[in-house]
Amino acid sequence: MDHFEKDLVDALKDVVEAGNWQCVGDKSKFKSPCTKFYSDDGEHIVLVHTKNDQFWAMDSSCPHEGGPLEQGDIEDLGNGKLALICPWHYFDFSLETGSSSTGLQNQVYDVRVLDGKVYINTQSTLSLCPIPATKITHQDSLPVEITSSENTLCMWATKILHTADPQEKVSLTKIVQENWDSGKITETGEASPPAQPNRKDSLTVVEPGKIKRGKGGTLASRIALLHSLANIEQWAIDLSWDVIARFSTFRLSNGEPLPRQFFDDFVKVAGDEAKHYQLLEQRIMELGSFFGALPVHNGLWQSATDTSHDLLARLAIVHMVHEARGLDVHPQTLSRFAAQGDTSSVKVLEVIYADEITHVAAGLRWFTYICSKEGRDSLKTFHELVKLHFKGFLKPPFNTEGRRTAGMTEEWYVPLVKPSSSLQKTS
Task: Please write the tens of the pLDDT for every residue from 25-54.
Answer: 899 889 889 999 988 777 889 999 998 899
Distance CA 388, CA 390 (A): 6
Q: Which of helix, strand or coil describes residue 266? A: helix
Q: Please tell me the predicted confidence (pLDDT) of residue 208.
A: 62
H or E element that contains 169:
helix 166-182
* Average pLDDT of the segment spanning 65-81: 82
C-beta of residue 418 within 8 angstroms of C-beta of residue 70:
no
- In this structure, the dihedral spanned by the alpha carbons of residues 52, 38, 388 and 259, taken in order and rounded to 10 degrees, is 60
State pLDDT tens for residues 154-183: 999 999 999 999 999 999 999 999 999 999
Pick the closest to residue 170 from 215, 225, 233 (CA basis).
233
pLDDT at 181: 95
The predicted pLDDT at position 49 comes to: 93
Predicted pLDDT of residue 12:
56
User: What are the boundaries of each domain within the chain?
Assistant: 2-124, 153-416
What is residue 124's predicted lDDT score, i.e. its pLDDT?
Answer: 82
H helix runs in 247-342, sequence order: 260-286, 302-306, 311-314, 323-339
Separation between Cα atoms, residue 210 and residue 191, nearest integer Å: 35
pLDDT of 233 over the 80 cut? yes
Nearest to 388 by CA among 352, 416, 358, 421: 416
Average pLDDT, the chain: 86
Per-residue pLDDT of 292-350, as tens digits, reads 999 988 877 888 999 999 999 999 999 999 999 999 999 989 998 999 899 999 999 99
Segment 197-222, tens digit of pLDDT: 999 988 888 776 655 544 346 888 89
Give the span between the Cα atoms of 196 and 420, in whole angstroms. Answer: 39
Specify whether domain 2-124 bears CATH 2.102.10.10.
Answer: yes
Is residue 369 very low, low, confident or very high in pLDDT (cuts 50, 70, 90)?
A: very high
Pairing of strands 92-94, 82-85: antiparallel
Band of residue 427 on the pLDDT scale cut at 50, 70, 90:
very low
Residue at 349: amino acid letter: L
Spatial separation of the C-alpha atoms in residues 269 and 267, rounded to whole Å: 5
